[in-house]
């Protein structure tokens, strides 16, 4: 080993010991002819002293050292002079009086500062990621990610799960997100798909009787660009046999409890609260509500039916909903502030956001004239409006109205500083199994999701009201993951397919090897997938998942460091029996 | 949870308890009107009894049960009648008297038997892998693999390594194995490469100061088909900073010691023995010698120079070598057996294998006439030949002669039953850095491998004798992995490139982002990559790595289960801005 210690461990108890350290020059300072170097490695910083009165030869060598040069130094651990201690560093009471210096490598001036409070553009940081990652705060994030991965693996192993690697080269299945495809060189005209998730393979492991599976795999999706989307991401992937929804939920709550204890040293209360999809939407306007603050909606459709306000009435008449949010104490909002709110609503699909201010016991707004005194009274009661409140309304079909006002709620929560610093986990459950797209029913999740037992009877008669055995786990307004109990019996699968206008035989053709496997004794099973990137980011208190990925891509799915994706050349294409067809498409 | 216990845990101490089990029907037997079912899950088998005198209703339901049906049963744990115990099962003293039976799923007759002693073709096993994996022996292998992965992670974490995920979508680097490429949909005319290993990214993590990195990543190679090769495989990937060869070797010996203790409950002696590449080749004819038996070669070139045997002489004259292997006691081999040996030599690149039998103190063979009495005497002494021995000779240039006779050695070792049941680890070290291909020097490993310090002076004058800081870890004749200390300084890199006929600037163009990173203070570093599939197989006592992979591919890189690789269709190709160019190539 080229060192006896790291730069993060020497203290007063090591005084007089001869040590060898390796690391990078964080700073070099010259004080009255003595050179002080802060030597940095992953473990910390140690002050290294080159004193000509101690060792002239080494001092003269130290004179030329530059930032980020790589050194090996040997010397004695000494107490720093009184008053020169640095209480911020673990090693702040000592320094090394250097007797030997070896320059392991020189360095050009780094294009970004190796400082935690770095101000640099994203593409610069990504291009020089190997320098960006030298910053202690970045290293801490990667080590924190490792802690989470490791604790996750410990937890599942303790619970009799087997970690099993599923393939990276797979077959496409229809639907779902777009998948990457890689041409086969040895099988001209054929390709492998890259997995968007191990879904089918983990279900096959249940058919194989492995009983409890987990994996922390890379998943890949060739989707359209979006700022917070990475074409590759990491999942905590879980599947269990002979279980119902609550078994999976209990297991995942146990995981988070274990993670909080192990990596944050915090007690996380369980069980998590639960909201149905319907309640989450109609109270918070989101299927991943942030429960760190209130501002719950009220459904005022029934009251509003008796108003003369056309927008509300026509929504209500078309089977839509009118939701009202009471922004407590926001009655003093300026016209600009109100317009900002309306704008948010519009950007999220609403025609507009209606508002009323509460002045004493009276409602004021440009639309109150359409609301009779009786209607106003009912409104005030229902929404518990008080002097100085601001009522905000959205009217449209259920999901659209709820979602738009949900975004307004988030805005108000932030604006009024209502968001508490706490961890609010919850389960959102009972999602609708189907949604109607152009008169046809389509699966909201995937066709293997099991309907709620009590809704099985409605499959043929009222599919729109059939709920699935589905659950999302949500933290502070972010979806960490979701899952479902899967259909394991042919009779149920056939009925679910029929609603989608597909015979079982057609489904068999499409999902051939999975449905074929199910013939030979599939157990009841279900699972969940959690986003590791998002989980790590949230538990680190960060919003951007790129901060917890070693080599992430930018918003254009490019890596400014290695320059991928790269241009094809003829040799590569020939090898794969492919030609470009770009001109035509552009 | 649909069960209170698994099928592998109930014993005498649970008598009279009411339990619910879930599992698959392994067998159904009818004895005098009573139905006995062996119910199987991952954890074991429990005997379940349907007795009409106990519960008529449940018995009649049990009558139609078929193999691999999935059941949930509830009943009381009872002692088996005297003489009916099964001492082979942990649960063999008890049975369940069933009160309630729910058929969770039916099953068609499985196309392969769910029995450990299965006789089925490989493609059938792979096609129905979900049934193949129901066999307890297969489940045990996957669980063993998990044990190895988990213990590996524990070990590295205890040693301050950080597990860091490197990207799946990367840039190609020239040379090395062929890599898979996936076209970018959002960047027409461009592609991502899939990593054949995280080599460059882990070196960048060292530049980033992460100090100790490991990962257990999937690697992908689009190479030509070969029986024991999988296009995707798993690696235990390691890199460390501020180290020399011995530091990496010590760390890996520690890993194997930990694995043996943890997963095999065995003490593994360390340090491992070490052989230079030269010694391994000239003593065992292999760079991954099996040391479970002796049969070491002698280099008899100097002696043989004085013979009149043309084949040997001309090899010796052309700077080649003549190796002799003493197959102790094999002097009685028949002509057929000798011809088998010669054939093995020929199949591995030799012109032939010469032989001499030792009869008393006399050598006998069709070629002894070319060897004077003095030469024979020297030979007998050198090779310690005794009555009844068989001497086998190979003559050619060094590696060819050694390799051919090395294959003969393996054959003789097996034939004479010399291979002991033990674990023989060793390090093969000091590989030549370069090899000459058509008058040009090429890198034997990769251009970043650091030359031995004591050979640096010969880089320009005698590159053929320059050894690298390289090491392979070998177990029982299998290479488990290999690694090297990397070049971290520009001056050394430039000299190594020059031997290869490349300027540093040219190398910089090719390996742009790595060599660019090296400008900003690269630390001395090195690492290793171990094959997880091979390691798991060997530690399980299995030769075929496909036995320890959940969903492997067949010899044609196809997966008979999911049918990948699959045919392109126009929609997929259009999406990727690609066209097939197959006709021309076929």
**How much is the pTM?**
0.96
B1, B182, B207 member nearest A182 (Cβ): B182
Residues 6+ apart with CB under 8 A from B377: none
Evaluate whether A424 touches A437 at the Cβ level (below 8 Å): no
And the tokens for A526? 């279900």
pLDDT over threshold 70, residue B175:
no
The reported pLDDT for the residue numbered B586 is 45
Show which of residues 65-84 on chain A sit within 8 Å of chain B, judged by CB atoms. 68-70, 72
Please report which confidence band the pLDDT of residue B176 belongs to, taking 50, 70 and 90 as the band edges. Answer: very low
Does B140 contact chain A (CB < 8 Å)?
no
B242, B520, B585 member nearest A108 (Cβ): B520
pLDDT in tens, B566-586: 999 888 899 899 999 986 544
Distance in angstroms (rounded) separating the CA atoms of residues B582 and B568: 11
pLDDT in tens, A487-517: 999 899 989 999 988 888 888 888 888 889 9
**Averaged pLDDT for residues B405-429:** 97
Residues 6+ apart with CB under 8 A from B239: B202, B203, B205, B206, B212, B213, B214, B525, B526, B527
The reported pLDDT for the residue numbered A436 is 86
Residue in chain A nearest B517 by alpha carbon: A130
pLDDT in tens, B72-111: 999 999 999 999 999 999 999 999 999 999 999 999 999 9
A-chain CB neighbours of B517 within 8 Å are: 130
pLDDT over threshold 90, residue B510:
no
Q: How far is A519 from chain B (nearest CA, A)?
A: 6
Distance in angstroms (rounded) separating the CA atoms of residues A224 and B523: 39
The reported pLDDT for the residue numbered A583 is 67
CB pairs under 8 A between A and B: 369
Q: Is A358 helix (H, G, I), strand (E, B) or coil?
A: strand
Does A242 contact chain B (CB < 8 Å)?
yes
pLDDT in tens, B421-454: 999 999 999 999 998 888 889 888 888 999 999 9
pLDDT over threshold 60, residue A177:
no
The reported pLDDT for the residue numbered A118 is 81
pLDDT in tens, A226-284: 878 899 999 999 999 999 999 999 999 999 999 999 999 999 999 999 999 999 999 99
Show which of residues 510-539 on chain A sit within 8 Å of chain B, judged by CB atoms. 512-513, 517, 519-524
What DSSP string describes A270-292? SSPEEEEHHHHHHHHSSSS--TT
Does A120 contact chain B (CB < 8 Å)?
no
Orientation of helix A245-259 relative to helix A136-158, angle to 10°: 140
Cβ-defined contact of A579 to B581 (cutoff 8 Å): yes
Please report which confidence band the pLDDT of residue A586 belongs to, taking 50, 70 and 90 as the band edges. Answer: very low
Distance in angstroms (rounded) separating the CA atoms of residues A342 and A289: 20
For residues A122 and B228, which has the higher predicted lDDT (pLDDT)?
A122
Residue in chain A nearest B218 by alpha carbon: A168
Cβ-defined contact of A209 to B133 (cutoff 8 Å): yes
A-chain CB neighbours of B42 within 8 Å are: 209-212
In Å, how far from its chain's centre is CA A464?
30
Distance in angstroms (rounded) separating the CA atoms of residues A390 and B498: 76
Query: What residue spans define the domains of chain B?
Result: 12-105, 293-419
Q: Is B96 helix (H, G, I), strand (E, B) or coil?
A: strand
Residue B484, strand partner residues: B470, B527
And the tokens for B422? 């033990």
**Least-confidence region, from A242-256, A323-337, B159-173, B507-521:** B507-521
Residue B461, strand partner residues: none
Q: How far is A544 from chain B (nearest CA, A)?
A: 17
Nearest CA to A166 out of B227, B217, B549 is that of B549
pLDDT over threshold 80, residue A584:
no
The reported pLDDT for the residue numbered A438 is 85
Q: Which CATH class is domain A12-105?
A: mainly beta
Residue in chain A nearest B111 by alpha carbon: A520
The reported pLDDT for the residue numbered A175 is 57
pLDDT over threshold 90, residue B117:
no
pLDDT over threshold 70, residue A96:
yes
CA triplet B69, B75, B78: central angle to 5 degrees?
110
pLDDT over threshold 70, residue B177:
no
**Least-confidence region, from A111-120, B199-208, B387-396, B416-425:** A111-120
Give A264's DSSP letter. I
Give B159's DSSP letter. T
The reported pLDDT for the residue numbered B457 is 95
**Which helix (H) or strand (E) segment is A354 a member of?**
strand A354-359
Q: How far is A344 from chain B (nearest CA, A)?
A: 29
Distance in angstroms (rounded) separating the CA atoms of residues B354 and B320: 16
Q: How many helices and strands in chain A, by DSSP H and E?
A: 18, 25
Does A40 contact chain B (CB < 8 Å)?
yes
Paired sense of beta strands B34-41 and A297-299, if any? unpaired
For residues B436 and A296, which has the higher predicted lDDT (pLDDT)?
A296
Question: Is residue A475 classed exposed, middle or buried when 0-12, 13-18 and 19+ CB atoms within 10 A define those classes?
Answer: buried
> Measured between alpha carbons, how far is residue B542 from residues B137, B138, B537 in Å?
12, 12, 5
B-chain CB neighbours of A180 within 8 Å are: 169, 182, 192
Evaluate whether B470 touches B483 at the Cβ level (below 8 Å): yes
The reported pLDDT for the residue numbered B460 is 92
pLDDT over threshold 90, residue B330:
yes
Q: How far is A354 from chain B (nearest CA, A)?
A: 40
Does A337 contact chain B (CB < 8 Å)?
no
Does B151 contact chain A (CB < 8 Å)?
no
Give me the phi and psi of B537, to 5 degrees please: -60, -50
pLDDT over threshold 80, residue A90:
yes
Distance in angstroms (rounded) separating the CA atoms of residues B80 and B97: 10
High-pLDDT (> 90) share of chain A, %: 85
The reported pLDDT for the residue numbered B302 is 93
> What integer best gives the mean pLDDT of chain A?
94
Nearest CA to A285 out of A324, A316, A259, A319 is that of A324
pLDDT in tens, A382-438: 999 999 999 999 999 999 999 999 999 999 999 999 999 999 999 999 999 998 888
Residue in chain A nearest B157 by alpha carbon: A150
The domain defined by B293-419 carries CATH number 3.20.20.10 = no
């Amino acid at each position: 080993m080229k060192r006896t210690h790291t730069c993060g461990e020497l203290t007063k108890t090591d005084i007089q010991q001869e040590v060898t350290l390796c690391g990078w020059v964080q700073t070099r300072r010259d004080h009255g002819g003595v050179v002080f170097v802060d030597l940095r490695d992953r473990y910390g910083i140690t002050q290294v002293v080159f004193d000509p009165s101690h060792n002239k030869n080494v001092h003269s060598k130290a004179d030329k050292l530059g930032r980020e040069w790589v050194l090996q130094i040997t010397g004695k651990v000494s107490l720093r002079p009184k008053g020169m201690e640095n209480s911020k560093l673990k090693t702040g009471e000592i320094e090394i009086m250097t007797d030997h210096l070896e320059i392991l490598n020189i360095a050009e001036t780094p294009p970004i500062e190796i400082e935690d409070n770095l101000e640099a553009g994203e593409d610069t940081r990504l291009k020089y990621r190997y320098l960006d990652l030298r910053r202690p705060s970045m290293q801490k994030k990667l080590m924190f990610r490792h802690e989470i991965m490791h604790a996750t693996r410990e937890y599942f192993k303790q619970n009799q799960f087997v970690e099993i690697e599923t393939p990276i080269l797979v077959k496409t299945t229809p639907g779902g997100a777009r998948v990457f495809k890689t041409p086969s060189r040895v099988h001209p005209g054929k390709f492998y798909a890259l997995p968007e998730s191990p879904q089918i393979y983990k279900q096959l492991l249940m058919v194989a009787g492995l009983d409890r599976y987990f994996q922390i795999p890379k998943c890949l999706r060739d989707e359209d660009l979006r700022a917070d989307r990475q074409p590759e991401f990491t999942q905590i992937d879980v599947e269990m046999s002979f279980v119902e929804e609550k078994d999976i939920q209990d297991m995942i709550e146990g995981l988070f409890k274990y993670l909080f204890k192990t990596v944050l040293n915090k007690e996380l209360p369980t069980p998590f609260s639960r909201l149905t999809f319907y309640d989450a939407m109609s109270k918070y306007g989101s299927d991943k509500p942030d429960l760190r603050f209130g501002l719950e909606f009220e459904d005022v459709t029934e009251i509003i039916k008796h108003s003369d306000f056309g927008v509300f009435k026509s929504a209500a008449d078309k089977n839509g909903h009118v939701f009202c949010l009471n922004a407590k104490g926001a009655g003093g909002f300026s016209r600009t502030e109100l317009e900002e709110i309306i704008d948010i609503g519009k950007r999220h699909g609403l025609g507009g956001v209606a508002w009323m201010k509460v002045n004493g016991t009276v409602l004021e707004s440009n639309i109150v004239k359409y609301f009779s005194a009786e209607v106003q009274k009912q409104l005030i009661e229902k929404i518990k409006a008080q002097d100085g409140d601001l009522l905000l309304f959205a009217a449209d079909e259920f999901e659209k109205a709820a979602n738009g006002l949900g975004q307004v709620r988030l805005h108000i929560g932030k604006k009024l500083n209502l968001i508490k610093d706490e961890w609010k986990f919850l389960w959102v459950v009972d999602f609708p199994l189907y949604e109607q797209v152009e008169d046809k029913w389509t699966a909201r999740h995937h066709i293997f999701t099991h309907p709620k037992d009590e809704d099985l009877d409605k499959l043929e008669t009222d599919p729109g009201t059939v709920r699935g055995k589905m659950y999302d786990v949500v933290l502070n307004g972010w979806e960490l993951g979701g899952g479902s109990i899967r259909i394991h019996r042919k009779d149920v699968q056939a009925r679910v397919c029929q609603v989608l206008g597909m015979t079982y035989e057609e489904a068999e053709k499409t999902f051939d090897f999975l449905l074929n496997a199910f013939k030979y004794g599939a157990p009841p099973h279900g699972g969940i997938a959690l986003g590791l990137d998002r989980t790590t980011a949230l538990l680190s208190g960060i919003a951007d998942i790129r901060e917890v990925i070693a080599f992430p891509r930018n918003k254009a799915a490019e890596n400014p460091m290695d320059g991928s994706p790269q241009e094809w050349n003829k040799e590569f294409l020939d090898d794969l029996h492919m030609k470009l067809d770009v001109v035509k498409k552009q």
